[in-house]
Structure 1
Amino acid sequence: MPRTSVKGQVITDLVVEFVEPSLEEHTKRSDMDEKLVGMISLKESLSWKVYVAGAANQRGSGVGLVIISPDKIVIEKSLRMGFLATNNEVEYEALLIGMTMVQKMGGKNVEMFLDSRNRNPHADSLATLATSSAQSLPRVILVEDLYTPTKINVDVVYVHQIKMGPSWMDLVVLYLKESILPEEKSEADKVRRKAPRFWLFEDQKLYKRSFSGPYLLCMHPEATELLLIELHEGICESHTGGRSLSHRALTQGYWWPNMQKEALEYVKKCDQCQRFAPNIHQPRGVLNPLSSPWPFAQWGLDIVGPFLKAAGNKRFLLVGTDYFTKWVETEPLSNIRDLDARRFAWKNIVTRFGISHTLILDNGVQFDSKAFRRYCCDLGITNRYFTPAYPQGNG
């Protein structure tokens, strides 16, 4: 007598054993000739759901995990961390531990739910070691101590690093590290004299000793421009001048040779500094040539002092210099009035060398007064006024 139901059961067991995980078999029995009809239909992807939460406070840090398998089996776990960690580091550890547990249990598709208060109250309660739960889950919770951060062994992709070229630091570092000097005697003497001004740290970084401040990190020539860019127009951009920029680099703890010169050259290349620098609104003056065509035709007058008081309460010197012969006439004065300037011009220049063609003067009151101008105009002398190199001495 045929036993068709047994044959159908064997086929069903074979399909269950070798079917793909994404397929689910539904069997339906019918009374038509006692045959078993098998139906295989597609099912949604079988995924694990992992709810993780981290908590960090002054008492320590912990991780709570709720893992739900595709078969609706719930696994709870809580971990206490024996090392200091921030809230972000705790959540990162929770993610790693959750994925590791699912991988060990053979899971391939995982849905992670991280620190969502509305959808993740159970994992959050595990993280804070509380007992409240919205679901009727088992009360047995595994508690494990974690003393070191989790390390994942992955294939490391090394980035090609471009080695910086030779620089002035190489000889100093070589001497401080291995006491090796260049073969040339002059270069060896230079390195030997410069070496006491530097200090080599354990990480092979060279520092310059400072007299009154902290040690300064020596910068490679190829990295100085990046530092100047960051200080001049970085996140705390100031767009200061060259001297201020080099001084700021020093206060930040950096040093390299000729840093002030490089800072000045960099500021000159800054586009924003050239466009928006304050303009000089003073009108331009006419350029006057200072060439002297013959001896004693052009004199320059200036006042030097004050000095310590001498005999007759003399504190100043009125100096006249001929531009052609460089002859000097001088006279001590107790006051610097326009009357004294007129008397000096008549006594020391006109009566001895004749009436000059031009007098080169600064903008002092004693030279720019109406009386002195009228006196020179009556003698036919042309006055030329100029601004000296140091404006504080301009009269």
Structure 2
Amino acid sequence: MKDYIYKLPTLATPVPGEDLLLYLSASKATISAVMMVEREEKQIPIYFISRTLKGSEERYMPLEKLTLPLVIASRRLRRYFQAHKITLLTDQPLQKARTATKGQLLADFLAEVPEEEENELLKWKSLEEEEKKKEDEVVWKLFTDGASSEEGSGAGITLISPEGVELTYVIRLDFENTNNTAEYEALLAGLRLARKMRARHVEANTDSQLVVKQYHGEYQTKDSSMAQYVNRVKKLAKTFKTFKLEYIPRGRNRKSDALSKLASVAFDHLAREVKVEVLTSPSITMEEVATVDNDEETWMTLIIRFLKDGKLPEGDWAARKMRVKALQYELIDRELYRRSYLGPSLKCVDNEEAKYVVREINEGICGMHSGPRTVVAKAMNAGFYWPRMYETASEDVKKCDNCQVHAPMTHRHKHPMIPVSTSWPFHKWAIDIIGPFPKGLGGVKYVVVAIDYFTKWIEARPLEKITGEQMK
């Protein structure tokens, strides 16, 4: 096998439209990947990767070790992954069986996989499956309580993980509500928190008998707002694999009860100990509003179509430009974000939203009516992006009345001034000739005018003819 590998041909260059093969292999301490192309019933290598695992990488599960060379290859060979169809082949059990062994032998040799490690790989795989089963069966416990008084409203949440780790959460409700609505808001916030923690089995506990009875259908919901709260809770409950809501006495829910009462009065001192959030609007819609979908295409439409469905615009040049441009963007929860080199991803907004962001930064409550460069820097620090940011900010600043009124005034002349210096009076004169005029006494018809630069003294003399002798 070593002789065969020694005589391997040089690395080939893929041709557009060819299907590529990617072989993966992993051992306890090394990983490798080989990309090949099949031509004339022969497999020719294109690129290979081989590296040693370091630090925490040595403790990866077998499947994670096998995925690591795929991740590295996709980053180094991003253009190949975008322009070609790649078939993944490995000796590990996957959904698609391996159909060729030539490239796999090369990957195995680079990874130096000994045969005695196969049993260990199977053990790790079985342990991984057992851990996944245990994670699917664990139960998260949720304790919620809401409080409302004349001074304000608040909610306290305690989420306990299967390992016994308690997560405390305090919410300040900055809108009018009653004790019942505060209890529902606390329960909904707790369910949202459990969903963020990716819990699949949840046991919720609350000291509000009304909430529990209305959820189970034992009490009627005559109020429309209560009916919306019940439907909202049931909708969130369906997102979990199993959900159970039980009533507990207030004595067994003291921690959440204390947090809700403290949040309803003042919660500034709680920010150092627990996570604090302020809700400015209820979780339900008080009025039925008909939503209108905006189907107008923006600068983000083509990028979203390519990232979501792989659709390219017409024309080779436009398609190539879109592939290169899409590398700078990503979709997160169906929202388009622009990748950032030194910070978090920036949310992309359309032209109308961009104008609103600029107005809020420049003319809002904390606006300082600064220049376009400062407005653009603040918008990017706030996490927003759109094309032609500087031009949009400049146009908005020019339309702002306060920016024009309070702008710094320049006292420079429109045209540069030309200084005229004289040493003493009557040292330098400016002479001009006026005429001809109708003849006067003595036949004169011209006028010679001389002006001193220093004193502005004027001398004038009528002449009959303009000659050199007379001008002296």
- Shorter-chain TM-score range: 0.3 to 0.5
Q: Which has the higher contact order (CA 8 A, sep 6+)?
A: 2
Larger radius of gyration: 1
- Taking structure 2 as the reference length, the TM-score comes to 0.32
Normalized per residue, the structure richer in helix is: 2
